[in-house]
Amino acid sequence: MNPRHHASLKDRRAAARTRRAHSGRARGRFAALWVLTFVGFAALIFRAASLQIAPSPKLQEANEEARAQRLAEVKIPAERGSIFDRNGVELAMSVPATTIIADARAVADPAGVANLLAPILQKDPAVLSGQLSSGKWFVYLARQVDADTAAHVEALRVAQKWDFISTVDEARRFNPSGNELALSLLGRTDIDGNGVSGLEKQYQDTLDGTDGEVVSERGTRNRTIPGGQQQVFAATPGTSLVLSIDRGLQYETEKILKRVVDEQQAKGASVVVMNYRTGEILANANVVRDDGAPARESADNRAVTSTFEPGSINKTLTFSGVLNDGLATPDQERLISARIGSYEMDFTDEGRSADQVMTPTEILRVSSNNGTVTWAQDLGKERLWSYFDKFGLGKKTSLQFPGESAGTLLSLNKWDDVSFRTMSYGLGLSVTPMQMLSAYNAIANNGVRVPERYVLGTQGAGGVFVPAPVAAGTRVVSDSSAAGMTQMLSTVVADGTGKKAQVAGYTVAGKTGTAWKALEGGGYGYPGARKLVVSFVGYLPNADPGLSMIVVIDEPANQNASGGSTAAPVFSEIASFAVRQLRLPPDADAATPTSNKERVRSQPQKVESAAALPVLGPPAPASTTTTTAPKATTTTAKATTTTTAPKAPTTIAPTSTVKATTTTVRSTTTVAP
């Protein structure tokens, strides 16, 4: 064999072996690379799957932040419940309104936009420019504007191609009968619809409802992403209140009271009208007058938040205790001294210099301080304090109204002999008009005091009325004692100091009161410069439903004003309207009570119940539905007490008016019945 050929063959074989070796290594490397790639992808898939199943806290937080940036939450305000009167007339309701908002991040020319919007929104251009320059994505430009304003803004937005201006539907509180009607009772809401005073505040949780929400994905410029995630949580509307108030009577009461306050140039006045059988408040008016301005409805429910010294209207409570303890009858005679002298003070009835035989009926009819003190001393401190307490003096009523005052009744251990005497005729304690009317209601209602109430019940979105629970009444005096007091108080109106409270066709029982107001520096001032509070409390004993009322006039300009001359006529005018509005039939036996001269003197005897007085009974339920009572948010506030002194002219005879004085050993002061 040729050696060269042999060498060439060997080389070719070696090259082939080399190629085969290289090819094997290449295949090995490829296989290894493929395995590594597979493992890598598998690891990534496993990692992704593990993150989906159990993401790390940091990654989860990052995802939630990103999602939150894309999601926008828009509140759906719940419709606030309405407030109705007893006849279904809306006194307060929520109506649609439009709010103008802007995305300040997208405003290129804040000053220019502000100058165009300012005349429409009636706002300062500088204020609007500042809002539009804030860089915030949500800015209120105007809250709860009317439809015309909203339409003008929309037209301007379209014309200027502003995509950064938009609107939000809201609701604003509205009083269909006028913003002042029953203002002090209904109260107000803030711009966000939350109650800030009155019943709107007290029943905030009941009226408010629960807001809903829309959650949606947003893109740039806060625009909703079509087809993006969206959730809607529906709002739950609030529950409506049904009040005991009669809108027509409320309106007329306020109108009369405003006129009287203007005529008397008084500081203010309050009137409460009630059904004394049920405790339902039919009208609740409070009027104030600023110097140089006409009288207006007060935002403060002074009938329950402000106090005054009752003066002679408190004598009724004293004699209720006297009759109930069997110490006297209405016509029992007794010698009443012209001067009661002991301790530090001598009490006198001005205009009467001699002792006089008088009955409890005569004492109330002419409003004698000395006669009241004489019988109160027989009753004693402990028993008198006990009756005042049972009548509700010194403690809040059952209304739980925001800011209600408890008045002032000194604890028994602080009563000395002088304060005991003066408190018997209304000096040295303070009450709210509501407290005093509630006390008289007990007498009118056969001796049983029923809880006062503004709210008859609630009404849900379905229109079902749910009556509020009615608490049981509390007996204060016997029915026979109450009947005796009604007899005595009827005489006051028939031919005593309260004659101007008479209502044609109806028997009226009541009492006048006049008090001097204490000055800030102490004392009560000098004649011609004193401040007065005059009042009348009364009821129609034969009315069905029962009708009672208190009239309190604060600081009439006339220094000779009195409960009989100033407050009693207001009672007569409002009551005359009320009997028509409530369709109360006239008395079958509305004869004027006989005068004192015609009454036959009698010895002490048991007083029987008057046949004309109604029997206590709860009102018929408005519905048979029984569910939970309306929630009430109770607000506790400090009581504001006004310290005053009673001063009331008293009529000894139908044509003569005299005053009563109290002479002090060290100094002389004057008080009045």
The answer to which of 172-176, 213-217, 284-288, 577-581 has the lowest mean pLDDT is: 213-217
State which of 243, 269, 303 marks the end of a domain: 243
Residues 205 and 265 placed together within one structural domain of the fold:
no
Do 403 and 375 have their domain in common?
yes
Q: Are 212 and 76 in contact (CB under 8 A)?
A: yes
pLDDT value of residue 458:
97
Query: By mean pLDDT, which of 38-42, 216-220, 419-423 is the weakest?
Result: 216-220
What are the φ/ψ torsions at residue 351 (nearest 5 degrees)? Answer: 95, -5
Split at pLDDT 50, 70, 90, the class of 23 is low
- Number of independent structural domains in the chain: 2
Is there a single domain that holds both residue 269 and residue 233?
no
**How confident is the model over 603-632, as a mean pLDDT?**
32
Same domain for 81 and 154, yes or no, is: yes
Q: Is the pLDDT of residue 162 over 50?
A: yes
Quote the pLDDT of residue 24. Answer: 61
Average pLDDT along the chain: 81
Rounded to two decimals, what is the model's pTM? Answer: 0.76
**What does the pLDDT read at residue 186?**
98
Q: Hunting for tokens 């000098």 — which residue is that?
A: 526
Residues contacting 414, CB < 8 A, separation 6+: none
The predicted model gives 193-197 an average pLDDT of 94
With contact defined as beta carbons under 8 Å apart, do 285 and 551 qualify?
Answer: no
Query: Looking at residue 284, which CATH number applies to its domain?
Result: 3.40.710.10
659 has a pLDDT exceeding 60: no
Q: What is the pLDDT of residues 499-518, one digit of tens each?
A: 999 999 999 999 999 998 87
Contact 309, 430 (CB under 8 A): yes
Verify that 330 and 425 share a domain, yes or no: yes
Residues spanned by the domain of 563: 259-600+608-669
pLDDT number for residue 633: 39
Distances (CA, A) of 214 to 131, 196, 217, 380: 26, 28, 10, 70
Q: Is the pLDDT of residue 329 over 90?
A: yes
Higher-confidence residue of 480 and 528: namely 480
Indicate if the pLDDT at residue 16 is higher than 70. no
Q: Is the pLDDT of residue 475 over 60?
A: yes
Model pLDDT, residue 454 = 98
Classify residue 454: in a domain, yes or no.
yes
213/179 same-domain check: yes
Whether residue 238 sits in one domain with residue 167: yes
For 54-198, strand residue ranges (E) read 71-76, 83-84, 90-102, 139-145, 165-174
Tell which residue, 298, 279, 303, 274, has the closest CA to residue 288.
298
For the chain, give the number of residues: 673
Whether 213 and 277 share a structural domain: no
What pLDDT band is residue 59 in, cutting at 50, 70 and 90? low
pLDDT tens digits for range 544-574: 899 999 999 999 999 899 999 999 999 999 9
Give mean pLDDT, residues 632-646. 36
Q: Pick from 578, 513, 592: which is nearest to 546 by CA?
A: 578
Final residue before a domain boundary, out of 198, 218, 243: 243
| pLDDT, position 430 | 95
Overall average pLDDT of the 373-395 stretch: 97
In a 3-state reduction of DSSP, which class is residue 284? Answer: strand
Mean pLDDT of 174-179: 88
pLDDT tens, 117-134?
A: 999 999 999 999 999 999
Does residue 355 have a pLDDT over 90? no
- Please determine, for residue 202, whether its predicted confidence score (pLDDT) is greater than 70: yes
